[in-house]
Amino acid sequence: MRPFMDSVPPARAAIVAAALIAAAPSARGAEPSVPYVPTPQDVVERMLKIARVGPQDYLIDLGSGDGRIVVTAAKQFGARGFGVDLNPERIREGNENARRQGVTDRVAFYQRNLFETDLSEATVITMYLLPRVNMELRPKLLALKPGTRIVSHDFSMEDWKPDTHVTVDTPGKWGGTGGKSDIYFWVVPARVAGTWRWELTIAGKPVSYQATLEQRFQVVTGQGQAGGRAVKLQNIRLAGGELRFAFAAEVNGHDLRHEFTGRVDGERIAGTVSVSGPRVQGEQEWSAQRGGKGAARAAPGVAG
Ligand SMILES: C[S@@+](CC[C@H](N)C(=O)[O-])C[C@H]1O[C@@H](n2cnc3c(N)ncnc32)[C@H](O)[C@@H]1O
């Protein structure tokens, strides 16, 4: 992550620094915790493309400035949503922008503290804030519905590594003097840490399985058992609520490759498994339950 001021021309940096110093000491205070610096329009569009925003989305911009992100999401990508900002002048600009672009039926702007905003309706969150504000928000973002997409202009969330990070040249930055913008993108991961158990029928006989998963945000590691024997889990991928993993195991005398995909829903994962070997081939429904005897304790990582 590049520090906020690195690509700022000196005169403008002084103005931004003054605004930052004037900001309230706590990001949760009634004063804006972040100065107003608009995201250049080309970066707005790139952010929305990276987040794959579409007509099915509900987008919330935290600290919405003149409303350009929410208005562009509605006008060019067909989304609905709202923006919040502490500054009433910004809210007026946002409403005016929506009116000019003909999207008042799909967007709204509220004068509200972003820390006191209900985010539960969002499928996409956008933000151009500051590193410490992102970190203060992080636990609330991680608690959103798995699969919620988050895109941040210029600032990361430290050890919650982004799923995508791009740096773009931005001629429109700093009022047209030009610079670079970082775009960070995350998908809120489901909580999968713990021991999951399930049963499959292989060559007509039931076989017990288990997988014990550890989790650091979207990065999952773990070990498994098939018919009481240890197996090495491979290709574990967690994308929002979608979990995939695979292993090879000998069960009921057959050497079998197992490939699982499932959707995590609280204490249950449900999906399909493909089982293949020289004399056994097939796909079947699969569901696993978390917990029970010998269950691993949930790793703290995902809470951030
Ligand atoms: C860097 S600007 C980004 C504006 C817009 N999202 C964009 O990218 O063009 C940050 C905005 O956040 C607003 N802001 C700062 N602290 C806030 C808070 N605690 N609650 C709501 N808005 C806040 C500021 O007034 C400012 O308009």
Lowest mean pLDDT among 82-96, 195-209, 278-292: 278-292
What is the rounded average pLDDT of the residues 108-119?
98
In a domain, 296, yes or no: yes
In a domain, 20, yes or no: no
CATH of the domain at 235: 2.40.128
Tell me which residues have their CB closer than 6 angstroms to ligand 1: 32-34, 36-39, 61, 63-65, 68-69, 84-87, 90, 113-115, 128, 153
Q: Is residue 147 pLDDT above 80, yes or no?
A: yes
Domain end: 137, 172, 187, which one? Answer: 187
Spatial separation of the C-alpha atoms in residues 215 and 206, rounded to whole Å: 29
Locate the DSSP E strands across 1-142. Answer: 58-62, 80-85, 107-111, 124-127
In a domain, 78, yes or no: yes
What is the rounded average pLDDT of the residues 260-281?
95
Which residues lie below 8 Å from residue 74, measured CB to CB, with a gap of 6+?
80, 81, 98, 101, 103, 106, 107
Spatial separation of the C-alpha atoms in residues 288 and 220, rounded to whole Å: 17
**pLDDT exceeding 90 applies to what percent of the chain?**
79
Task: Say how many Å lie between the CA of residue 84 and the centre of ligand 1.
Answer: 8
- Ligand 1 atom, smallest distance to 127 CA: 6
User: What's the pLDDT at 252?
Assistant: 87
Task: Say how many Å lie between the CA of residue 18 and the centre of ligand 1.
Answer: 16
Task: Say how many Å lie between the CA of residue 264 and the centre of ligand 1.
Answer: 34
User: What's the pLDDT at 270?
Assistant: 98
Asked if 211 and 174 sit in the same domain, the reply is no
Asked if 37 and 177 sit in the same domain, the reply is yes
Based on the structure, what is the number of domains in the chain?
2
Which of 61, 71, 139 has its CA nearest to residue 105? 71
pLDDT digits (tens, 9 = 90+) for 155-190: 999 999 999 999 999 988 877 788 999 999 999 999
Asked if 35 and 178 sit in the same domain, the reply is yes
The mean pLDDT of the chain is 88
In a domain, 237, yes or no: yes
Asked if 183 and 200 sit in the same domain, the reply is no
In a domain, 8, yes or no: no
41-50 helix and 68-77 helix, angle to the nearest 10 degrees: 60
User: What's the pLDDT at 16?
Assistant: 41
Asked if 233 and 127 sit in the same domain, the reply is no
Domain end: 187, 206, 237, which one? Answer: 187
What is the rounded average pLDDT of the residues 16-22?
37
Spatial separation of the C-alpha atoms in residues 149 and 1, rounded to whole Å: 19
Residue of 175 and 221 predicted with greater confidence? 221
Locate the DSSP E strands across the chain. Answer: 58-62, 80-85, 107-111, 124-127, 149-153, 164-170, 179-187, 194-202, 205-216, 219-226, 229-232, 234-239, 242-251, 254-265, 268-276, 281-290
Asked if 146 and 244 sit in the same domain, the reply is no
What is the rounded average pLDDT of the residues 11-31?
43
In a domain, 5, yes or no: no
**pLDDT exceeding 70 applies to what percent of the chain?**
85
The range of the structural domain enclosing residue 36 comes to: 26-187
- Ligand 1 atom, smallest distance to 38 CA: 9
